[in-house]
C-alpha cells in the first residue's frame, strides 16, 4: 500500500520529485549492489566519484556551461557564501556593487561589511518594502563584481531579466530559482545556491565558478574559506555531504531525462505561477504583495482581508492536505512555494481550494 502524500508548498526544505524519492528508497540500503548505503560508502570510492562526476556533467549540460566554468559543492549553505564571496573577490582598495532586494541580499551586504570590505549598494527596493526589482541601475565600471539575489523567497520577487553590468562579473545567489528556467551564463563570474529548494535535500551549496575568477583569490585565506581549495580538489578536500550530492544528482537526472530540460521546466513553472496569480488578480479577497513586473515564479506571496481569515485559511488548508502555505515569520501572510517538483496538479488543486475558500468567506 502506497503511503499518503500531501501537497507540499514548503519554502525549503521543499518538495522533491516522487521518482527521486523512490529511487533513494530503493537503493538506500544497498547502493549500486555495494552492500552499503549511499551514506556509508567512501567519498574516495569509484562509486561516489561516479555520482559526483555525473552531477557535475548534468549541471553543465542543463545550463550549457563550457569548460571555463567549474562546478563545486560546498557545505554551509548560501549563507556561508555571503562571507566567502567578499573574502575571495574584494581585494584591498577595491569595492563591490550590491543590489539590495531584501532579506538575503541584505544579509549578504551585512556579511561583507562585517569583514570590513568596501560595499556600494547601487540600488535598493527598500523604499517600497522590497516589493519590486530595481531598474536602470548605474553600476561602477571598476567594481570587483556585482552581487544580486535572483529570487527572494520571503518577499516573492524575482529578476525576470538580469541587468547589463557593462562587463563587471555578476555573482548571483540563485538558491530559490536554480534550474527553474534557462540561463545565459556569460555575464556571471559565479552562481551559487543552497540546493534544498529546487535541487535536493539540505546540506550542500552548489557553486558554479568561472575559472578566471580563481586568479583573483588572495593568498592566506583559511583553507575551507577559499574557492581555490574546492576547485583544486574537485570538492573533495574534506569529506563532502555524500547523500546531499547524491540527491542533487538524481534531481538533475530527473530534470534532464524525465522533464526534458530547463526549457520545458520553465514552461511548466510559468503555467503554475499563472494559475495562482490569476486567482489573486480576479477579485478583492486575495491581494498579492509584489508589483506585477517583479513577481516570482517560485514563491507567490499574498494576503487575505485580515489576520483571522489568514489563520482560518491556513488551518483549513492543512485539513485539505495543503502544507507550507504560511508566510515567513518576518512578514506574515501566506506564501505558495511552487518549485520544480511541485506538480501542476497540486497547484490546480490549491487554486480550486482558494476559490472555494474565497466564495465561502468573501
Question: d(Cα 285, Cα 304) in Å, to the nearest integer?
Answer: 6
User: How much helix, strand and coil, in percent to the nearest 5, is found in the chain?
Assistant: 40, 15, 45
Q: Which of 123, 130, 134 is nearest to 104 (CA)?
A: 130
- Distance, CA of 257 to CA of 225 (rounded, Å): 35
Cα–Cα dist 132/139, whole Å: 19
**Which residues are catalytically annotated?**
104, 173, 197
How many residues make up the chain in this entry? 362
354 near 9, Cβ under 8 Å?
Answer: no
How far apart, in whole angstroms, are the C-alpha atoms of residue 73 and residue 56?
Answer: 9
CA–CA dist 255, 237 (Å, integer): 28
Amino acid at each position: 500500500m502506497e503511503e499518503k502524500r500531501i501537497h507540499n508548498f514548503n519554502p525549503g526544505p521543499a518538495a522533491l520529485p516522487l521518482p527521486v524519492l523512490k529511487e533513494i528508497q530503493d537503493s538506500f540500503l544497498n547502493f549500486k549492489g555495494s552492500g552499503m548505503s549511499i551514506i556509508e560508502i567512501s567519498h574516495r570510492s569509484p562509486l561516489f566519484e561516479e555520482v559526483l562526476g555525473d552531477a557535475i556533467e548534468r549541471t553543465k549540460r542543463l545550463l550549457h556551461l563550457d569548460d571555463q566554468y567549474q562546478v563545486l559543492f560546498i557545505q554551509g549553505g548560501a549563507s556561508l557564501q555571503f562571507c566567502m564571496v567578499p573574502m575571495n573577490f574584494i581585494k584591498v582598495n577595491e569595492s563591490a556593487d550590491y543590489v539590495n532586494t531584501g532579506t538575503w541580499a541584505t544579509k549578504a551586504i551585512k556579511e561583507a561589511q562585517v569583514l570590513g570590505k568596501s560595499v556600494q549598494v547601487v540600488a535598493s527596493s527598500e523604499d517600497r518594502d522590497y516589493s519590486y526589482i530595481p531598474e536602470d541601475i548605474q553600476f561602477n565600471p571598476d567594481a570587483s563584481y556585482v552581487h544580486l539575489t535572483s529570487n527572494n523567497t520571503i518577499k516573492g520577487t524575482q529578476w525576470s531579466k538580469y541587468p547589463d553590468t557593462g562587463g563587471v562579473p555578476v555573482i548571483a545567489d540563485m538558491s530559490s530559482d536554480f534550474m527553474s528556467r534557462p540561463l545565459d551564463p556569460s555575464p556571471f563570474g559565479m552562481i551559487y545556491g543552497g540546493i534544498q529548494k529546487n535541487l535536493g535535500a539540505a546540506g550542500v551549496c552548489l557553486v558554479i565558478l568561472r575559472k578566471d575568477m580563481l586568479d583573483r583569490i588572495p593568498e592566506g585565506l583559511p583553507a575551507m574559506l577559499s574557492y581555490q581549495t574546492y576547485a583544486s580538489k574537485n570538492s573533495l578536500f574534506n569529506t563532502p555531504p555524500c547523500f546531499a550530492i547524491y540527491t542533487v544528482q538524481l534531481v538533475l537526472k530527473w530534470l534532464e531525462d524525465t522533464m526534458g530540460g530547463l526549457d520545458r521546466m520553465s514552461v511548466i513553472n510559468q503555467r503554475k505561477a499563472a494559475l495562482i496569480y490569476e486567482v489573486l488578480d480576479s477579485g478583492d479577497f486575495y491581494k498579492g504583495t509584489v508589483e506585477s513586473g517583479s513577481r516570482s515564479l517560485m514563491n507567490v506571496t499574498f494576503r487575505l482581508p485580515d489576520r483571522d481569515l489568514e489563520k482560518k485559511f491556513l488551518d483549513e488548508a492543512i485539513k485539505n492536505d495543503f502544507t507550507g502555505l504560511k508566510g515567513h515569520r518576518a512578514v506574515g501572510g501566506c506564501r505558495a512555494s511552487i518549485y520544480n517538483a511541485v506538480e501542476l496538479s497540486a497547484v490546480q488543486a490549491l487554486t480550486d481550494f482558494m476559490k472555494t475558500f474565497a466564495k465561502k468567506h468573501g
